[in-house]
Structure 1
């Protein structure tokens, strides 16, 4: 387990736009996509509810407060972490994110943290640094442009809930963090610039189809594709150009580049 500590003051940070789609209709430049997910290790309780209010990621080395970026949460609320075991997870945030190194993550909890004991009794969970504590965790991961990543917070219930001996409980979160690439994608450019519909079709089961269209410069990007072989079809509404088909192979942590696709 990685060691953690509480930070009592939270600096103002820049807000990242929340993006929930798995595909884009234009090249994202130096951006990748990041999902923040919460999972849990089992514990001897009925429920452990965490009041998750904010997730912040540090994009610079060291502890410079200017290096923190804020993820807009999909739904700031209380999460029963014991529901997220055996492959289940809670999606806390999903956003475009600058490619590069991320060094730390900070999880900000609200005041409504509780544990439900086996007998059904609900107890408040108190933290050493108060209700607005920020839990800071080490990450140290390199994020590649155009790739989709999952940043996973693995909450250890058994070690995080501490009985105080007077019938009350403290919350001292022990969280393991890891970052994985979950999918690659396909990008390219159409020439001459037109607005064909682009269909990306997985060649093997399960057969999935994704659609997009090029931007004003002809560039296109489809992200969030599982590894495998794909057929890329260009369907033109313009009678001057015929339809075209290309093949692409996608791997994790890689964007397959079709280069310039000539429409004739």
Structure 2
């Protein structure tokens, strides 16, 4: 009888230990699942040859994998910055200016894609006249940007969505314009920035660019408007999302200006930092 009682006690002890271990595993798994990373998305643009380019931003969404399907998307947009009626003039987001679309905590781990969802209230202003920007049906569900990055718990990740206005707007006639967003996504952790000022501020288009292999990273210089008002064009430029390395910066003026390109050698770019080349003077 005593032996039987000892066997029962042993079985009871094993069951209790098993339950305890299961509880610990569940707690550890829960804590792991709750690990988060700070996730920031900003939108910026390089100057384009328009008076205004107004886009309606409805949402920012993320997905943990690179699958092209519609399942698994999570909305993370800051509702004070995105949603119906949240319209931004991209040409005001130049020279280092940007708008924060979200600053939130998201589950750590694999981040496969970011989706920028645009609305229908998109317009372009040319010569003082406003025209609707129609959006192809294939892009109405949002522009998907592959990032494929692992977010570490407790770390901060800042993504910059850089519009290329001149490539994003397609002219279909004298009064027809289509919005086909061309956006490059970069992170401060994996890229750097070059900024500077063309002095004196010019009234013609100047392209600032650097090249790494076959890839060209560029931005237009903010120029004086056609009325000679320098408040909208201070000659600044900022090239975002550049891989680390040493570059030759080229400033290429519009051929009609009669000016020749200028180069600045040995510009060093470091991850997470901004390299300021200062004033660059055109003769």
Taking structure 2 as the reference length, the TM-score comes to 0.51
Name 1:110's counterpart in structure 2: 119
Name 1:96's counterpart in structure 2: 105
Name 1:63's counterpart in structure 2: 68
Higher relative contact order (CA 8 A, sep 6+): 1
Name 1:127's counterpart in structure 2: 135
Gaps of 5+ in 2: 1-32, 191-271, 273-283
Provide the rounded CA distance (Å) in 1 between the counterparts of 2:143 and 2:56: 13
**Deviations 1:151-201, CA, capped at 9 Å, x for gaps:** 11100001001110242100011000112349xxxxxxxxxxxxxxxxxxx
C-alpha RMSD of the superposition: 2.3
**Deviations 1:190-237, CA, capped at 9 Å, x for gaps:** xxxxxxxxxxxxxxxxxxxxxxxxxxxxxxxxxxxxxxxxxxxxxxxx
Tell whether the 8 Å contact from 1:35 to 1:91 is kept in structure 2 after alignment: yes
Tell whether the 8 Å contact from 1:56 to 1:69 is kept in structure 2 after alignment: yes
Provide the rounded CA distance (Å) in 2 between the counterparts of 1:131 and 1:29: 33
**SS at 1:72 equivalent:** coil
Name 1:215's counterpart in structure 2: none
Counterparts of residues 1-264 of structure 1 (less than 5 Å):
30-73=35-78, 74-76=80-82, 77-117=86-126, 119-129=127-137, 132-181=140-189
Structure with greater proportional helix content: 2
Tell whether the 8 Å contact from 1:39 to 1:89 is kept in structure 2 after alignment: yes
Taking structure 1 as the reference length, the TM-score comes to 0.55
Tell whether the 8 Å contact from 1:148 to 1:181 is kept in structure 2 after alignment: no
Structure with greater proportional strand content: 1
The count of aligned residue pairs is 156
